[in-house]
Amino acid sequence: MAQALGIDIGGTGIKGAVVDTVTGELVTDRVKLPTPEGGSPDDIVTTVVALIKKIGGLDDGVPVGVCFPAIVRNGRTMSAANVSKKWIGLEAEALFEKALGRDIHFVNDADAAGYAEVRYGAAKDVSGLVLLTTLGTGIGSALIYNGVLVPNSELGHLELDGKDAETRASYAAKERENLDWKHWTKRLQKYYTHLELLFSPDLFVVGGGVSKNYEEFLPLLDLQTKIVPAVHRNNAGILGSAALAAD
């Protein structure tokens, strides 16, 4: 059985599990630890080490994938929209590798989630351009063409109504401004219409925790492109980072 460990670092929690990378099933329990207050690099690395211990340790040779909510270029975190600014410009991949004593594969969280949907979820066997967006604290995006991931698309930061789109259309914006589904969907309508214009995708996949309530908002959207909820909400980052590490 091909196995890999996937770890998903988020603003509130850090989750991980060993994954069967052929079927996309978890082969261990999913372990979650709270993200340390302030989210500083050292504290997060310490938590990841503790998480792996809790999962039961790791055999040599099991690939490790880690995903993180920032632009990741050549192992460096290049942005920090909703995490500690200390990550900007940091050699993050090397930091984890030193602490874990092994190589890891380090990617953006939405890229991992999108890859998980293409391999094991809502976009399996879909050819052409798949565009996944995660609607959470921010808006993450993954651009995947015929199964090949184009990393760091960062489409949550497009301009919408003169503002950073994620500050208007993320799930956090809905909560913050007490928007009902109808009013929030108006913002999503503008956002996805703009994405359609730019990319003419073959499929939109909508992830993030709120996608479990997709019936409240996806049917209200009027788009030319098919739009479907993600299949793997909580585990998408784990599955995608494990699959990318195994590849």
Tell me which residues touch ligand BGC (CB under 6 A).
69-71, 79, 81-82, 108-110, 134, 138, 140, 154, 156, 166
Coarse DSSP helix, strand, coil percentages of the chain, rounded to the nearest 5 percent: 40, 25, 35
Q: Which is nearer to ligand BGC, 9 or 18 (CB)?
A: 9
Minimum gap (Å) between residue 19 Cβ and ligand BGC: 20
The CA distance from 246 to 44, in Å, is: 23
Q: Which residue has the tokens 């988020």?
A: 10
Least Cβ distance, residue 196 to ligand BGC (angstroms): 20
Smallest gap from residue 242 Cβ to ligand BGC (A): 18
Give, rounded to a whole angstrom, the gap between the first and last alpha carbons of the chain: 14
Pick 3 or 141: Cβ nearer ligand BGC: 141
> Tokens standing for 247?
């590849």
Structural tokens at position 200: 């003419």
Instruction: Decide whether 79 or 241 has the Cβ nearer to ligand BGC.
Output: 79
CB of 67 to ligand BGC, least distance (A): 9
Q: Hey, how many other C-beta atoms are within 10 angstroms of the C-beta on 182?
A: 10
Nearer to ligand BGC, 3 or 154 (CB): 154
**Cα–Cα distance, 169 to 98 (Å, whole number):** 38
Question: In the complex with ligand BGC, which residue's Cβ is closer, 3 or 79?
Answer: 79
Name the minimum Å distance from CB 59 to ligand BGC: 30
7 and 66 Cβ atoms separated by less than 8 Å: yes
